[in-house]
């Protein structure tokens, strides 16, 4: 049930983000909300339900993103999810700074994966320099949105749990 709510919440967040970025004419320097969501889901949901949720979040991101082969964001988000799932027992992301650092790393990983997948599957992809030019700024722009996404998703988790979790973030 939480996975379905996560996907619906992702739809709302991405649906709000996409038109605002187009209206402000800053679509190239956009925070990658999908990466933040995949990171949170990878740290908090079991593998199968998390993969299904991240798959649908990737489909949503693919639907809102223009200019990339269909399914690229799905693959990128699933790999980021699996990386987050690998570190889920070893890393505790409770305060904003570690969340921001992990979002920067996940965004850089996602951009590199996007480059590799686009170079392999997109026959007309020729904007390598532009992708590498915006990789760093996109990671830095994504960082402050990580704690916000984590906060919203933790509030959803609190709705599903009878007892309140002990968290240090946004208490």
List the end-to-end C-alpha distance of the chain, in Å, as a whole number: 25
Domains delineated in the chain:
2-160 (1.10.1760)
Report long-range pairs for 8-15 (Cβ below 8 Å, ≥24 apart).
9/152, 9/153, 9/156, 10/34, 10/37, 10/56, 10/57, 10/60, 11/60, 13/37, 13/149, 13/152, 14/57, 14/60, 14/61, 14/64, 15/64
Positions in the chain short of pLDDT 70: 27-28, 125, 162-171
Task: Give the distance from CA 72 to its chain's centroid.
Answer: 13
* Model pLDDT, residue 110: 93
User: In the prediction, which pLDDT does 36 show?
Assistant: 95
Q: Which of 63, 53, 52 is nearest to 17 (CA)?
A: 63
pLDDT attached to residue 166: 54
Give this prediction's pTM.
Answer: 0.87
Q: What is the pLDDT of residue 169?
A: 57
- Picking from 139, 148, 91, the residue whose alpha carbon sits closest to that of residue 114 is 139
């Amino acid at each position: 049930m939480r996975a379905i709510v996560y996907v619906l919440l992702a739809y709302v967040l991405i649906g709000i983000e996409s038109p605002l970025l187009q209206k402000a004419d800053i679509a190239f320097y956009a925070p990658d909300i999908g990466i933040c969501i995949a990171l949170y889901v990878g740290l908090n949901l079991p593998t199968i339900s998390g993969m299904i949720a991240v798959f649908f979040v990737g489909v949503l991101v693919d639907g809102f993103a223009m200019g990339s082969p269909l399914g690229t964001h799905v693959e990128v988000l699933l790999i980021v999810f699996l990386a987050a799932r690998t570190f889920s027992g070893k890393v505790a992301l409770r305060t904003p700074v570690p969340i921001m650092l992990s979002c920067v790393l996940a965004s850089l990983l996602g951009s590199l994966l996007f480059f590799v997948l686009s170079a392999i599957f997109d026959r007309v992809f020729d904007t390598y320099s532009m992708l590498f030019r915006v990789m760093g700024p996109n990671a830095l722009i994504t960082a402050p949105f990580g704690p916000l996404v984590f906060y919203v998703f933790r509030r959803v988790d609190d709705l599903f749990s009878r007892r309140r979790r002990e968290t240090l973030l946004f208490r």
